[in-house]
Amino acid sequence: MRTPLPNMRISHFLLSFLLTCAILPPLSSPHPNDESCLTHLHQSFTNTINLHNWNKTTFTNPCSDLTFNLAGITCNNNRVYKLSLQNLNLAGPISPFISNCTNLQSLDLSNNSLTGHIPIELQLLQNLAILNLSSNLLSGTIPPPLSMCTYLNVIDLHNNAITGPIPPQLGMLARLSVFDVSGNKLSGMIPSSIGNRSGNLPKFNVSSFVGNKDLYGYPLGGMRSKGLSVLVIVAIGLGSGLVSLVLSFTVVCVWLRSVEKKRDGEHDGKITHMMPEY
């Protein structure tokens, strides 16, 4: 009776193996949030010709080996963690459902033709470290709650049509090392939390802010604002008014004098004429 031992071992091993398989999730389980995220992104873009293999079937399991070649998508631990969709001629708005890609660390949609505003829902991406939306046609304002993404290292929004002020809250992002909002339509004073950062926080120079007509304050020039240009216009107006006043006064004076002289001359002549000759 020595044979049962190995048999028992084998059956024990088989049992535990089966148990493990039942308890652990399958190797590539699809994630409903990622599916929702990709489906809605795909729907909101109006030119998806360059999004190779982006279709309903692949969205259900974007991180499986079979659909490994989903354009621009990188996975980690079976979740979408990087979207690199630059230079793809994408148009249309950025879907707010982007926030369902909850493990996203890097979002690069740069150099496309995206329109609309920066979705405020980006604030829900708690792991977001890199945000590059540069060289698009985005308008609207920079959402202040972006400061909720505490891991943000990079905010690159250059070359868009973004309006409004720079939210001072963004200065709270301790890891922010690249900040570029050049070439937009931003206005108002650069908050010192961003323009003149204190302590060891990475500093941003002029190149981060240039090309925004109505933006002013350090490190851009001083009050290059509307207030000053209004003053200049008033000064020019007052100055030219004064000059024309002096000029017309002089002309009138000269004219009056010449008239007076003429009269005096006539008078003198008459007098001379009427003078009795001795």
Ligand X SMILES: *[C@@H]1O[C@H](CO)[C@@H](O)[C@H](O)[C@H]1NC(C)=O
**Site residues for ligand X per CB under 6 A:** 33, 36, 53, 55-58, 67, 86-87, 89, 96-97, 99-100, 110-111, 121, 132, 134-135, 154, 156, 178, 192, 196, 198, 205-207, 218
In degrees and rounded to multiples of 5, residue 165 shows phi and psi of: -85, 170
Closest to ligand X by CB, 98 vs 186, is 98
Least distance (Å) between residue 22 CB and ligand X: 26
36-43 LR contacts (CB < 8 Å, sep 24+) = 36/97, 36/100, 37/80, 37/97, 37/98, 37/99, 37/100, 37/101, 38/62, 38/73, 38/80, 38/101, 39/97, 40/95, 40/96, 40/97, 40/98, 40/100, 41/94, 41/95, 41/97, 41/98, 43/95
Task: Please state the closest distance from residue 2 (CB atom) to ligand X, in A.
Answer: 54
Least distance from ligand X to the Cβ atom of residue 55, Å = 4
Which CB atom, from 52 or from 244, has the smaller least distance to ligand X?
52
Q: Which residue is nearest to ligand X (CB)?
A: 110
Query: In terms of CB distance, is 74 or 205 closer to ligand X?
Result: 205
Q: Examine residue 32 and say whether the peptide bond preceding it is cis (omega within 30 degrees of 0).
A: no
CB of residue 191 vs ligand X: minimum separation in angstroms?
11
Considering the complex, state which of residue 56 and residue 175 has its C-beta at the smaller distance from ligand X: 56
Phi, psi for 243 (deg, rounded to 5): -60, -45
CB of 93 to ligand X, least distance (A): 13
Give whichever of 95 and 147 is closer to ligand X, judged by the CB atom: 95
Running DSSP on this structure, what letter comes out for residue 145?
Answer: G
Query: How many angstroms separate the CA atoms of 242 and 235, rounded?
Result: 10
